[in-house]
Every structure is written in C-alpha cells, then in structure tokens.
Amino acid sequence: MGTISEEIKKRRTFAIISHPDAGKTTLTEKLLLFGGAIQTAGAVKSNKIKNTAASDFMEIEKQRGISVATSVMAFHYRDVLINLLDTPGHKDFAEDTYRTLTAVDSVILVIDCVKGVEEQTEKLMEVCRMRDTPVMIFINKLDREGQNPFDLLDELESKLQIKVRPLSWPISIGATFKGVYNIYDKELNLFNPNKTRIEEEILQIRDLGDSNLEDAIGLKDAGVLRQDIELIEGVYDKFDDGLYRSGHLAPVFFGSAVNNFGIRELLDTFIRLAPAPRPRMADKRLIEPTEEKFSGFVFKIHANIDPRHRDRIAFLRVCSGKFERNKFFHHVRLGKDFKFSSPATFMAQEKNIIEQAFPGDVIGLYDTGNFKIGDTLTEGEKFMFKGIPSFSPEIFKEVANTDPLKSKQLEKGIEQLTEEGLAQLFIQQNGQRKIVGTVGELQFEVIQYRLMHEYGASCKFLPIQIYKACWITFEKPEVFEQFARYRAHQLAQDKDGRYVFLAESPWMLDTMIKDFPDLKFHFNSEFKIA
C-alpha cells in the first residue's frame, strides 16, 4: 500500500444514474465485465432479467426486474480502483439515489437514445447540480432506431441545464449502426452485432481524411461522419476538463450496453478525466481527503443483506485518512468509540473482509443498531458531515397490525426498515400510532414483503390525508407549547425524536406559517436543531 495521497490518486468513486429501463443495470454489468469482476453477463431482455445482474440481489428486485436497493461494487481497471455505486432507477426509490449521490465524486448518467431525457432524469440532474457533481453522459441503445444525435444533444442542454460536449460519435443508428468514432482519442471502433465478448475492432484514424475510413465504413457513412465531426468542432467549444470537474460541462459518449459497445471508450476516458476523491464539507470545516486522520460518514443502511444471517450493514464512505480494521473510531452523534472486526468491501453479493480502506472507498460495517444515516466516524474530532437530508415524503399511510401475536416483530421491522432509509417513520400518541411516509407506492409493497419474509410480521397500510411533513424548530418553547395544544393531532415525532407537523393541505400549512411566525417550518431534515 502506498501513502494516503498515492492511494487517493488511484481511486474513482461514482454512481450510475438513469430513468428506469434506460439500460443502467446492463451498463453496470458490462463495466464489471471489463474490470474482470464478473465473467459472464446476464442478458437483460424485454425488461425481464434472465440471469439476474450481479447488483440486483434482493428477492423482490429479481421478481420485478428493477433495482430497489443501491449496491456497491469495487473492481480494478488499468491500475485504478473503481468504486461503483449502482442506484435504483425507479422513481419510487429516488430518496435512496439522492443519498447515494452524497457518497460519490462523480456520476455517469445513462440516457435511452429512443426516449431521450425523461422526467426522472431531470430530477436526478437537479440533485447533481446542488453539489456541482461532475457528470458524464452515456447515450445508450444505439442499435435501436432512436433520435438524431444532434437533437439529443440539444435536448440534454435544454432539459438538464448543462453544457455538453460529445467525446465519441455514432456512425449511423439502429439497423445500420456501424460503430463509434472516439473523438477524444481519434480512433474508430467498429460494431459487430454478433460479437458478445469484449474484443473489439479498433482502427486508429488520426486524420478523418484517411482513405481507410471509406474502406472501414463505406463512402456514404464516411462522408456523413466527416461532416458531423466538422460540425461538432465548429459548434461546441474544445473539451475543458476543468469545466467538467466543476460540474458545468458534461462529456457525452454513445454506445449499446447490451452489445458491449462503446463501453471501453467511456471507461478509458472516465478513469482519465473523473476526479479522484474530493474534499467534503462538514459542519465545522472542510475535510481534505489527504488529512492523516480518518473520517467517514454512513449514507446507507441495509438490514438482512444475507437472509441466513440476520445482519445489518452500514455503508460508510471514507472521506479522509486511513480506516483500519480493529482500530477504535469515534461515533460523533453517540459520543462513543467503536472498533470493527470484520469491515467488508463488496462485489455485489460477495463480501471480502478488508484490513484497511482509503478516501473514496465504500466499506460495509456490521451494525447492531448503533448507526443512522448521516452518522460520522472520526479519530476523535467532533464534526458531522453535511448534505444527507430527508425530504418530505409524497405519500403517507398509517400502519395497521394484522397479526397481534407478532406485534414486537412488526415494531422492530418497521423501525429497522425506516432506519435503512426505505421510508420515513412518524410516531404519534406516545408510539401507539405509526405513520409511514414514502416517495412512491412501490415502497409500501417492498416494506410489506420484507416485513413478512425477514421479520415474520404482517400489516396493512391505511391511506391518510397528509399533504406534507414539515420539521419544526423554535427558539421560544412557550410558542411551541401553544402550537402543540392547538394542533396536537397533527404533530408527530420522527425516528430521531424531532417534532414534525403533518399538514393536511397547502392551505393549512400556509395558515400555520402565518399564524406562528416564531416557529420555523423546514421541508427537509437538514437544519440545525435549536
């Protein structure tokens, strides 16, 4: 192992994000294939996963063929250690994706060339822009009849509000798709639809006037490619990696993930351009990755990763210094020191115990219930990393126990699944009434399924009329007491014991904000507690 600085330079930590069905799981799988992390790819055909992709390991995901839990995968490629965080594409699990984006240094956004920019893609980009996260765009499914590439670039700029610069360019599309010209390295990569393995036919064409171009792709397509590249060089500024790293310019690549095509250009350019682990803002100061002392934060918790062992794993992003197995670290929120005897890295379901980890690495810590999302570990310094908020949910339902003999199991299950971040829990009447809030309906199905299969408990979810959950802070306790008497039936506490106002309508919320100017109403949980 090298010094901390050397280890940092070797690492790239990123997430793949997309609208559902844009081909994100397939791209993830092909990147793992290039890195030698898996040997065969499970083909994703007609939205049904035949051989389930390595990253989709929860039973309910296999049934639905969508990713509902973020998985972490580490693999080596050309002397670089890549930490890849796969995210749920489905909009109902957006909150899990937002949290994952706090733990990465850059993002690859997958766009379907047929459908273009979709609503979920726009929301994901907003989260990236909040943090100026560098974004690379991979336009997928070039083997299908899709939109004109120039139209797609215009749509990306207008809908995602980011400047783009193509670094590879397709030669035709759909049935006549012949390959990709790598603008960045001046190479031609020819497409053979019958090849499913990784070898590709690469021609170095330093000069597009070279007659080898006609021999490779024919007179007509060579002419079109020359015109297209000339237009690109005329319309788009020269690629500026500083603008990319500051989150203001997105390089664009084209390919077909299911056919393993265009992936190499993406991966080779990614490891050259994407930032190594970057500094992180904490509540007290900026934490540099090169600092000697270890720090990191928990961005995800997953109970029962292995149903045979009732384990709960906290996923921690290392931000500075060096994490070491069996060394005591300080849990800032609890004010206690803990050591970890079996910290793990992941290759989807395979876990490997590690001795040490460096900035950029994501490690799994076995947890007996000490961690919550957003918790910070340090070597003693008292600070908390910022930027892992909960947002007000969109759908609220009351939990109704359908098996009174399993009340304890239900209580434990609801508590653990909401601590994982699958949904938010609001408690009323001294714990007697529990309300679950989610971004989408699908989460209620996942919670019911997991309660039954992992905790042996069953419940119904009863719809209730709530418009928004707002966290409340105050400086004058007497004002809050007056509000609490007046609105007791609409007050709840979240899992951390903070007061939340459950507003039934926009009118009700506006009225309370006007009537109680000394109370502060927050629409996400990231605020200083008064």
Evaluate if residue 55 carries a pLDDT over 70.
Answer: no
Question: Quick one: pLDDT at residue 21?
Answer: 78
The secondary structure of 171-216 as a DSSP string is ES-GGG--EEEETTTTEEEE--TT--SS--EEEE-S-TT-THHHHH
**Could you tell me the CATH number of the domain that includes residue 290?**
3.40.50.300
Lowest pLDDT segment from 14-18, 83-87, 223-227 = 83-87
- Give residue-wise pLDDT tens across range 415-435: 888 877 778 899 987 778 999
Is residue 126 assigned to a domain?
Answer: yes
Is residue 182 assigned to a domain?
Answer: yes
**Could you tell me the CATH number of the domain that includes residue 453?**
3.30.70.3280
On whether the CB atoms of residues 87 and 28 are closer than 8 A, the answer is no
Evaluate if residue 249 carries a pLDDT over 70.
Answer: yes
Evaluate if residue 49 carries a pLDDT over 80.
Answer: no
| Judgement on whether residues 118 and 251 belong to the same structural domain of the protein | yes
Tokens of 269: 């350019």
Q: What is the mean pLDDT of residues 116-127?
A: 82
Look at strands 433-438 and 179-182 and give their pairing. unpaired
Number of domains, the chain: 3
| Confidence class for position 387, pLDDT limits 50, 70, 90 | low
Is residue 384 assigned to a domain?
Answer: no
> Partners of 202 in the beta sheet?
189
| Judgement on whether residues 429 and 504 belong to the same structural domain of the protein | yes
Q: Which of 273, 301, 318 is the last residue of a domain?
A: 273
| Judgement on whether residues 72 and 160 belong to the same structural domain of the protein | yes
On whether the CB atoms of residues 319 and 289 are closer than 8 A, the answer is yes
| Judgement on whether residues 53 and 195 belong to the same structural domain of the protein | yes
Sign of CA dihedral 324, 307, 298, 335: negative
| Judgement on whether residues 187 and 116 belong to the same structural domain of the protein | yes
Q: Which of 15-24, 170-179, 252-261, 282-291 has the highest mean pLDDT?
A: 282-291
On whether the CB atoms of residues 426 and 52 are closer than 8 A, the answer is no
| Judgement on whether residues 514 and 447 belong to the same structural domain of the protein | yes
Question: Quick one: pLDDT at residue 94?
Answer: 63
Q: Is residue 287 helix, strand or coil?
A: strand
Q: What is the mean pLDDT of residues 92-99?
A: 70
Q: Angle of helix 263-273 relative to helix 24-34, nearest 10 degrees?
A: 80
Question: Quick one: pLDDT at residue 312?
Answer: 78
Question: Quick one: pLDDT at residue 326?
Answer: 94
Tokens of 316: 């921690």
Question: Quick one: pLDDT at residue 397?
Answer: 94
- Give residue-wise pLDDT tens across range 338-378: 999 989 887 645 668 889 999 999 998 988 878 888 899 99
Q: Where are the beta strands (DSSP E) in 70-173?
A: 71-77, 80-86, 106-112, 135-140, 163-166, 168-171
| Judgement on whether residues 138 and 51 belong to the same structural domain of the protein | yes
DSSP element (H, E) containing 4: helix 4-9
Question: Quick one: pLDDT at residue 462?
Answer: 93
Sign of CA dihedral 489, 493, 494, 500: positive
Is residue 18 assigned to a domain?
Answer: yes
> Partners of 488 in the beta sheet?
none
| Judgement on whether residues 328 and 467 belong to the same structural domain of the protein | no
Using only C-alpha atoms, the chain has a radius of gyration, in whole angstroms, of 25
Is residue 503 assigned to a domain?
Answer: yes
| Judgement on whether residues 27 and 140 belong to the same structural domain of the protein | yes
Q: Which of 14-18, 311-315, 326-330, 438-442 has the highest mean pLDDT?
A: 326-330
Residue predicted with more confidence, 301 or 335: 335
Evaluate if residue 283 carries a pLDDT over 90.
Answer: no
Distance CA 77, CA 234 (A): 34
Residues 6+ positions from 495 with CB-CB distance below 8 Å: 372, 415, 418, 419, 424, 425, 427
Distance CA 46, CA 185 (A): 34
Evaluate if residue 43 carries a pLDDT over 60.
Answer: no
Q: Which of 249, 273, 297 is the last residue of a domain?
A: 273
Q: What is the mean pLDDT of residues 488-509?
A: 90
Distance CA 391, CA 51 (A): 35
Q: Which of 218, 253, 273 is the last residue of a domain?
A: 273
Considering the entire predicted model, what is its pTM? 0.78
Distance CA 205, CA 181 (A): 9
Question: Quick one: pLDDT at residue 367?
Answer: 85
Evaluate if residue 68 carries a pLDDT over 50.
Answer: no
Sign of CA dihedral 296, 301, 307, 311: positive
Q: Where are the beta strands (DSSP E) in 210-328?
A: 249-254, 280-281, 286-287, 295-303, 312-320, 323-324
Q: State which amino acid sits at residue 219.
A: L
| Judgement on whether residues 460 and 371 belong to the same structural domain of the protein | no
| Judgement on whether residues 171 and 253 belong to the same structural domain of the protein | yes
Percent of the chain with pLDDT over 90: 34
Average model confidence (pLDDT) across the chain: 83
Distance CA 217, CA 265 (A): 19
Write out the residue range of the structural domain in which residue 190 sits: 4-273
Q: What is the mean pLDDT of residues 272-278?
A: 94
Residues 6+ positions from 150 with CB-CB distance below 8 Å: 228, 231
Is residue 19 assigned to a domain?
Answer: yes
User: How many Cβ atoms from other residues are within 10 Å of residue 431's Cβ?
Assistant: 9
| Confidence class for position 152, pLDDT limits 50, 70, 90 | very high
| Judgement on whether residues 155 and 37 belong to the same structural domain of the protein | yes
Is residue 386 assigned to a domain?
Answer: no
Is residue 59 assigned to a domain?
Answer: yes
Q: What is the mean pLDDT of residues 190-219?
A: 68
